[in-house]
Amino acid sequence: MADTIADTRRLFTKPQNLNDAYGPPSNFLEIDVSNPETVGVGRARYTTYEVRLKTNLPIFKLKESCVRRRYSDFEWLRTELERESKVVVPPLPGKALFRQLPFRGDDGIFDDSFIEERRQALEQFLNKVAGHPLAQNERCLH
């Protein structure tokens, strides 16, 4: 058997300048779901979430946007994507039907820990969907 010698020579690369090191990445898409707010009273009570988008992808007309959405809006988006696109759409966090039952010891779907869990799951859902190149072309996502 012949002995093999590893090639340890350095690769020649272009020197990095300050703009390359500290400038924005070539393509980025950031979506944050934050600032949950519970509004309304009694049966008309619901929680909304602030959805912030920052991107430099050319497919998006707005490079930055901020809207408030409730869980039913995320359900609508998922339904539209399933109906209109060829994308396999990830699941949304569950409806939490048991948390809506009366006579619970906590605030049910308005409990702070539940709202935070749901916020994280909705952010994960949006980032998975929006990161898919085919889903980025869908009008309902924009």
On whether residue 14 sits in a domain, the answer given is: no
On whether residue 133 sits in a domain, the answer given is: yes
On whether residue 2 sits in a domain, the answer given is: no
Residue 41 is predicted with a pLDDT of 84
20 backbone φψ class: left, alpha, beta (φ>0; ψ -120 to 50)? alpha
pTM of the complete model: 0.74
Residue 116 is predicted with a pLDDT of 92
Contacts of 32-38 spanning 24+ positions with Cβ under 8 A: 32/123, 33/119, 33/120, 33/122, 33/123, 33/126, 34/119, 36/115, 36/116, 36/119, 37/68, 38/110, 38/115
Tally of structural domains, the chain: 1
Residue 110 is predicted with a pLDDT of 77
Residue 98 is predicted with a pLDDT of 52
Name residues of the chain where pLDDT drops below 70: 1-4, 6-14, 16, 20-21, 23-25, 96-108
The CATH number of residue 35's host domain is 3.30.1520.10
Residue 28 is predicted with a pLDDT of 80
Phi and psi torsions of 67, nearest 5° = -135, 160
> What is the spatial distance between Cα 140 and Cα 142, in angstroms, rounded to a whole number?
5
Residue 71 is predicted with a pLDDT of 92
114 vs 34, 63, 107, CA distance in Å? 14, 31, 9
> What is the spatial distance between Cα 63 and Cα 57, in angstroms, rounded to a whole number?
8
On whether residue 69 sits in a domain, the answer given is: yes
Domain that holds residue 64: 21-141
